[in-house]
Amino acid sequence: MNIYLSTFLFGEHFFIFCKKAGYDTMLRTLGGNLIEFIGNLDALHSFLALSYQEMNAPSFRVEMTDDGKMLLHYYSDRKGLHHIVPGIMEAVAREFFDSKVTMVVLNQSEEDERTGKKEHIVFLVNQVPTSPDLDQPPELILESLLAAVGPTVAIWVCLIYVLDTFTPCYPEKLWMDEMAFCIAFPFHVIFDKDLKIRQTGVNIQKFVPGLQAKDATLDQHFTITHPQVTFTIKSIRKFINSQFVLKSHKQSRLKLRGDPQGRFRNTQPTDSAQSSVLVLSAGQMLWMDSLGCMLYLCSPKLRSLRELQDVGLHLADLAQHDVTRDLVLLNQQRLAEMELTNQLEKKKEELRILSQHLEAEKQKTETLLYAMLPRHIANQLKDGKSVEAGEFEVCTILFSDVVTFTNICASCEPIAVVHMLNSMYSKFDQLTSVHDVYKVETIGDAYMVVGGVPVPTQTHAHRVANFALGMRIAAREVTNPVTGEPIQIRVGLHTGPVLAGVVGLKMPRYCLFGDTVNTASRMESHGLPDHIHLSATTHSELKGGGFTFQQRGQIEVKGKGHMTTYFLLRNLLASEESIMGSKDGQSSLYRERCHDHNDSVLTESS
């Protein structure tokens, strides 16, 4: 019971979903009553199947018994879904036809009226109008009105109904000869209860040879592909409201799709000009009792001008009143719009991929730019802004060079020198990230860094001093290509003010200017191999921070006169591993502590 209720409710919700999805108007126009609505469902499903190729819709057929009962025949490839049907039909009757429907399953079997094994469910449908149905016989209308509104109003309503009733007028004779009919409807077939072909249109005769033969039957030249019924007049009449699709066996030149009242829907291309098939499709076959024959009108099943050419047809081969002409042209326009949309989507995807590649190249360019210039300086240049030079009150500058570098260059191949410098500079570059100092430039064997520029920091001297200790350790891992021994470097440090700015238009560089730069260079050139040479100002900045020194005393410095200098030995508060960046938490090497407004004291943490 719960399963039945769930599937019943699902049927109602499915109908509501179809209405909200934009099919409301289409569903309302399927028929003026429930019987017509159900009779046109198969035609609607066939139309939708043109857009939804994987669609596998069920089939419906209404049968009226001699005692006036309505039977709904439901066919489906999928078993167990017939419980959804009552929910759908009840919602349709309530929303569109102002009536209430109850349905009971009379029989459930594998049907034998259709080809293939399909689930066949027969429902007994009881429809009760919730308001008077003017399509009913007058006596039933009057009975309903008497119960609802009383005798006076009921009589007036019935008079209006009778006066408004339409009665068609038929001519005494058909004012059209046989030749004119066959030309006006070039794709039609009339066959009797034995399927014997009595009459055909001129174009069907042309494209399906043999139809003119005496005693030719329809099943000799065609098979029914939809609905899947046995090819007998009894089965066809049972499904007369269905859209019939007939396909020729062989030797036809094109595919056709039509309806017994004269319209075709679309076409499919033939496999080849020699083995193509003719497809006839119908919305409803028309049974003529007086002649005991079935009339079936059709048109070529075509969807585009390309298919029209493939089957060897021209628009002139179609009757001028046939909507297939308009369908082909309209669908051709739709195909052109779809092709344009596909091209736009393809171009959109190409642009998206190009945008991704451009973004990747942009990242590479920015990475290279940030390696050459400070990030905030590079961003200003990218934005087209001018970068003004800035004054820094205090910073620490480091210079280094390789001992006996001139002799090394003279004694070995240039490529060996390049490998040696590349190995050394790669290690130094890694240390700049560890200690957060800025690499200014390299010239030959000279390597220059600065702490406190371009981003001021109170620990500038400590960062550069630890970087210098790391340089000395890293240099011992680089081999002299001449002697095979570890290379030796000289390092010099000085602290003081500088002026910094960007110079040049091509390959702009961030350069430092001032006496502090010259003094730092002198500290390096007047230093000793494998020693870190400090000026007195740098020594003052580092004193009390855990570093150990050796006083060198006063020396004569070119251009500076006598200066008291020092050698940096080690940092007692930092291990060799932490200086080289081989342990986590490098930021703990530098902890800034601000005291009063007069000064700031730099301390080291272990």
pLDDT of 266 > 50? The answer is no
Report, as an integer, the average pLDDT of 126-138: 66
Domain count, the chain: 4
For residue 318, which of 219, 216, 206 has the smallest C-alpha distance?
Answer: 206
Assigned domain for 44 exists: yes
At 53 the pLDDT is 67
- Among the candidates 304, 338, 372, a domain finishes at 372
What's the CATH number where 504 sits? 3.30.70.1230
Q: What is the pLDDT of residue 154?
A: 55
**Does residue 34 lie within any of the structural domains?**
yes
Question: What CATH number has the domain bearing residue 302?
Answer: 3.30.450.260
Its domain, for residue 88, covers 1-132
Q: Say if residue 358 is in the same domain as residue 236.
A: no
Q: What confidence score (pLDDT) does residue 4 get?
A: 58
Whole-number CA gyration radius for the chain:
48
- What is residue 262's predicted lDDT score, i.e. its pLDDT? 37
Residues 217 and 86 in one domain: no
pLDDT tens track for 524-567: 999 999 999 999 999 999 988 889 999 998 999 998 899 999 99
Residue linked to tokens 């033969």: 213
Asked if residue 201 and residue 106 are part of one domain, the reply reads no
Q: Which of 189-193, 241-245, 431-435, 572-576 has the lowest mean pLDDT?
A: 241-245
Return the pLDDT at 275.
42
Q: Is residue 268 part of a domain?
A: no
Q: Which residue has the higher pLDDT, 601 or 255?
A: 255
Residues 119, 10 within the same domain: yes
Task: Report the distance separating Cα 248 and Cα 186, nearest Å.
Answer: 17
Taken in order 298, 304, 309, 310, the sign of the CA dihedral is negative
Q: What's the CA gap between 438 and 460, in Å, rounded?
A: 10
pLDDT at 272 over 50: no
pLDDT for residue 499: 92
Domain CATH code at residue 72: 3.90.1520.10
Does 138 reside within a domain? no
Q: What's the whole-number average pLDDT of the chain? A: 80
Domain match, 468 and 359 both: no
- Condensed to tens digits (0 to 9), the pLDDT of residues 29-41 reads 888 888 888 888 8
Pair (394, 533) in one structural domain: yes
Last residue of a domain, one of 100, 132, 164: 132
Specify whether the CB–CB gap between 271 and 232 falls below 8 A: no
Q: Which residues contact 560 (CB under 8 A, 6 or more apart)?
A: 519, 522
More confident residue, 88 or 306: 88
The reply to whether 200 and 312 lie within a common domain is: yes
Residues 336 and 482 in one domain: no
User: Does 227 fall in a domain?
Assistant: yes
**Which of 57-71, 147-161, 256-270, 473-487 shows the lowest mean pLDDT across its residues?**
256-270
Distance (Å, whole) CA 426 – CA 430:
6
Question: Is the confidence at residue 93, as pLDDT, over 70?
Answer: yes
Taking the C-alpha atoms of residue 271 and residue 45, their distance in angstroms, rounded to an integer, is 26
Instruction: Tell me the percentage of the chain whose pLDDT exceeds 70.
Output: 80
Q: Is the same domain home to 365 and 419? A: no
Residue 168, domain member (yes or no): no
Do residue 209 and residue 292 come from a single domain? Answer: yes
Q: What is the pLDDT of residue 372?
A: 72
**What span, in angstroms and rounded, lies between the C-alpha atoms of 286 and 241?**
9
Residue 468 has pLDDT above 60, yes or no: yes
In a domain, 514, yes or no: yes
pLDDT at 447: 94
Cα–Cα distance, 233 to 227 (Å, whole number):
13
Name the more confident of 135 and 415. 415
Torsion angle of the four alpha carbons 573, 578, 584, 587, in this order, in degrees rounded to the nearest 10: 60
The confidence score (pLDDT) of residue 518 equals 93
Question: What percent of the chain shows pLDDT beyond 90?
Answer: 29
Whether residue 160 lies inside any domain: the answer is no
pLDDT band at residue 351 using 50, 70 and 90 as cut-offs: very high
Pair 239, 313 in one domain? yes
Distance in angstroms (rounded) separating the CA atoms of residues 478 and 491? 16
Residue 314 sits in the same domain as residue 358: no
pLDDT in the model for residue 590: 66
SS (H, E, C) 361-409: HHHHHHHHHHHHCCHHHHHHHHCCCCCCCEEEEEEEEEEEEECCHHHHH
- pLDDT digits 0-9 by tens, 381-392: 777 776 677 889
pLDDT of residue 270: 40
Condensed to tens digits (0 to 9), the pLDDT of residues 166-178 reads 678 888 888 889 8
* Alpha-carbon distances of 442 from 326, 426, 516, 581, rounded to whole Å: 78, 12, 18, 22
Model confidence pLDDT, tens digit, residues 286-341: 899 989 999 988 877 777 787 777 777 778 777 777 777 777 788 778 778 888 99
Per-residue confidence (pLDDT) for residue 343, from 0 to 100: 92
Return the minimum-mean-pLDDT range out of 258-262, 313-317, 425-429.
258-262
